[in-house]
Structure 1
């Protein structure tokens, strides 16, 4: 029997696979464990189940004297010092599959909010029930049909966004580290371009890269200046992929038309200036905020834990 510390609060459905065979410690309903509480409890635990907004650095890892596995409840894992975990012989896993479809849904929702100015109209309509009568040519949106979607980071989520946007009649340009073969591109109905070309040609630029030293500020003042003044930027990846002050300046000056953001540079806390802008749709990192996806993530997390404890190599190891 293993001892497992679940550091975060989530749906209870799905954990039966662990609780039936192992000792599992959960936080009080309605909140996560604090860093101090994790450090206090992790000493004799075999497994730590973490989540994207709980940092798991050297100090916390060193508290886990019996720790063998860190199972992250997210596709991203930049909250974990994976290199140090590897030095200590600790395996790190993530949940890459269950997040694909809900995150792609949210990216499309943000795109539609920006292109049809839904959030702007919602705010205006709440203020003035006769808003449309006061300006039929105000807040005009744009059609998606015939427009170009540019995707930077064409992994599973990027591909899921592309499928949705193709259904709207959009053309898809993509850039990723390893280009698909021409046959695969034809099958997927997508076209490869260098990063700068994708940025220049995109009517909608959607970001789907992990956060690494190379992708930090992938979109900065230089890249924003390349974009069409009518372009929309969507970020459901990681906040620091975008230079947020540069984005605020571009939105204020009309250098791009709009942005839909689910993630933010400073620990998912938006710049106060973003709240003052009408041409921004904001959500508080809710890419997987559906009951279905949270249950699927629990199952995926538990499968990684059980697989690891049984010595199965077919787990979602990232280090």
Structure 2
């Protein structure tokens, strides 16, 4: 899949807001049939990257292209869908009216029934948009983003305000769209969401791309391991050992985060011959994300 030309590209993209460097020579490629999660703390540059690809902003340097063209043209927009964090939709229109209005802008839109099924809009078509709950409005926004059968779909914090069932439903819909060949750019603060959905992950830190690859490749950027065992050792004492990032007791279980893990495991076995049920697992995406973005936290604390 990587051998096929990408549907959208940022190449050496730079963007400043006054003295603030929002993006600094960022390279990003979005491929058909893949979800790419764009991760970063607030202010890392995620929204700016999305805006460049949507043609809402122009890069100060570098290049943004979608389907080999400049973003924002009518021909490009008809092949894209976007669900952003804010949506200015007419409160007085019914959901069905909103769907009809947006679907009319596409040559081969999805049927209303398909939109209802994918976005979970059963029973909402006759309701006024302004009378819906926040979660229901997010589902309507998702339906509007996918109703034109987009080849490229932008989802900016799509599950904010959704309950667990609605979130799982949106995940299933995204997987269906990807199976049809769409490229999806996802920004989310829910790292378990990125881990569950993404084929590729790109991590922005202070406007720079600090990691990019598969979920496994990004996890491998850190050597942190999670250790769980049943032991009589005091968590407070273990927390002082070299290499231990944190240690806490959970009932009879002792949970430890260590980097690297091997010396800590050896010391555990030496210190407690009765230790049992030892489990070691690699860092999750959340662990890797925190390690990769610590420099941003340090800069914010120093400011």
TM-score normalized with structure 2 length:
0.29
More strand by share: 2
TM-score normalized with structure 1 length:
0.28
